[in-house]
Amino acid sequence: MKIGFISLGCPKNQVNCEQMLWQAHAAGHEIALEAEDCDLAVVNTCGFLQEAKQEALDEIERLCTLKREGRLGRVIVAGCMAQRYREEIETLCPEADGFVGTGGYESIAQVIAETEAGKRPHHFGDIDAAVPETDRVVATSDHWAYLRIAEGCDNRCSYCMIPSIRGKFRSRPMEAILEEARSLAECGMKELIIVAQDITRYGLDLYGRRRLADLLQELCQVEGIAWIRLHYLYPDEIDDALIALIAKEEKIVKYLDLPIQHISTKILKAMNRRGTGEDIRALLTKLRREIPGLVLRTSLICGFPGETEEDFEELCVFLREYRLERAGIFPFSLEEGSAAYTFPDPVEDEVKRRRLELLTEIQLDVVDAYCAAQVGKSVLLLCEGFEPESGRYVGRSYAESPDIDGCIYIEGEEDLIPGEFYRVRVTEAVDGELIAIREEA
């Protein structure tokens, strides 16, 4: 059978999808990254926020339309949305042929076989089971890949449903991660992007202590890997040893994704986040001091219940002062089943929208100033390939994480090699994107 896979949502979902691709391939199926003209399509959904649920439902509707038109055989709904709404998923997706939850990814070959036999299977599995050590087909790129080091989360932020969708925090054994890293390097990967819901907690469940620094030290020894990028560090778990390691190890890029969510201590407390606004400010100052050239990414929520004009103003002042180079800003989303669902003092939608606009404006100014400051600088860039629409090669420096940050366009080059590193000089900044020319080799 020809089976198409579509992955929605975050990098962790992407890894699950890549593992399902491998299992379908190992079961003898032809695999594709699109649904049309396939015998079956698997859509790996996100279910974290209402917006993600809607995106998943829209995609499922698109697939079911293809099915009705005879351009697709069957549809399997997998992942976070199926897991979160498992009781009502059949009603939500009446035309889908099978369902796989976040604890059931390993059963995908069986689910495919059951749909072929005319059944309508549900495989939800155990969301707290050990992380499956399944092979995968990397579908992101030939030169960078996500490396998932843990699954689930124990943090219980009051707005977040992830612990109930993805289970408790479970680290992968260090040897399994290193083996995967070596095999990715052998396949030509140059950059590994370390992901988990909270990478700073790595090892606590398996080894009784946090071992992210140990793991990173080992990963730096993997031959062929040039860049190691860290996504999703919980602020209060970043200790001095980890900071020193990041500063010292050349392979660990000076880019950290540190979701802080807010800066008002009152709101952080209501969010059930550990630490205060002062702790976050002190950490950021320390990180900037200890890691020269550091680029910081964060995510922020505005309009959380009880957020007053004063709390919001504190967030605006913080963004202007601390000038984080990258920020994802989201309006609070009321999620049924989360602790915050019943919180008093909701912020009106109109106010939430205005706050989101204001924060976005502030952040755009920060990004523009950052980009303007890059002009004239010499940077090492990983070539991503040729972009036909712009007629130019594109690449990323350590400051751009794939898929979420912009890229750097390289002018006047006709034969660069994707996956190779080049030194370029930034010549211009346009709407948050950088333009560069190659320096003499």
Applying CB under 6 A, which residues contact ligand SF4? 153, 155-157, 160, 162-163, 197-198
Of 161 and 383, the one with the shorter C-beta distance to ligand SF4 is: 161
Nearest approach, Cβ of residue 160 and ligand SF4 (Å): 3
Of 151 and 384, the one with the shorter C-beta distance to ligand SF4 is: 151
Of 157 and 185, the one with the shorter C-beta distance to ligand SF4 is: 157
Of 199 and 383, the one with the shorter C-beta distance to ligand SF4 is: 199
Nearest approach, Cβ of residue 279 and ligand SF4 (Å): 16
Q: Map residue 127 onto helix, strand or coil.
A: coil
d(CA 305, CA 324): 25
Nearest approach, Cβ of residue 273 and ligand SF4 (Å): 7
Q: How many CA atoms lie within 13 A of 437 on its CB side?
A: 6
Of 67 and 201, the one with the shorter C-beta distance to ligand SF4 is: 201
- Taking alpha carbons only, the member of 263, 320, 323, 259 closest to residue 295 is 323
Of 18 and 151, the one with the shorter C-beta distance to ligand SF4 is: 151
Nearest approach, Cβ of residue 156 and ligand SF4 (Å): 6
CB atoms within 10 A of CB 186: 11
Of 101 and 152, the one with the shorter C-beta distance to ligand SF4 is: 152
CB-based contacts of 331, cutoff 8 Å, min separation 6 = 301, 302, 303, 352, 353, 355, 356
**H or E element at residue 186:** helix 174-186
Question: Strand order in 98-103's β-sheet?
Answer: 30-32, 2-7, 38-45, 72-79, 98-103, 122-125
Q: Map residue 41 onto helix, strand or coil.
A: strand
Nearest approach, Cβ of residue 153 and ligand SF4 (Å): 3
Residue listed under structure tokens 């976050």? 280
Q: Map residue 428 onto helix, strand or coil.
A: strand
Nearest approach, Cβ of residue 26 and ligand SF4 (Å): 30
Of 78 and 162, the one with the shorter C-beta distance to ligand SF4 is: 162
- Taking alpha carbons only, the member of 114, 111, 87 closest to residue 99 is 111
d(CA 19, CA 14): 9
Of 44 and 197, the one with the shorter C-beta distance to ligand SF4 is: 197
Nearest approach, Cβ of residue 259 and ligand SF4 (Å): 7
Cα–chain-centroid distance for residue 4? 22
Nearest approach, Cβ of residue 197 and ligand SF4 (Å): 4
- Taking alpha carbons only, the member of 91, 12, 11, 4 closest to residue 43 is 4
Nearest approach, Cβ of residue 239 and ligand SF4 (Å): 17
What is the dihedral sign for C-alpha 421, 424, 426, 427? Answer: negative
Of 236 and 249, the one with the shorter C-beta distance to ligand SF4 is: 236
Nearest approach, Cβ of residue 196 and ligand SF4 (Å): 9
d(CA 324, CA 60): 36
Alpha helices in 69-107 (DSSP H): 80-84, 89-92
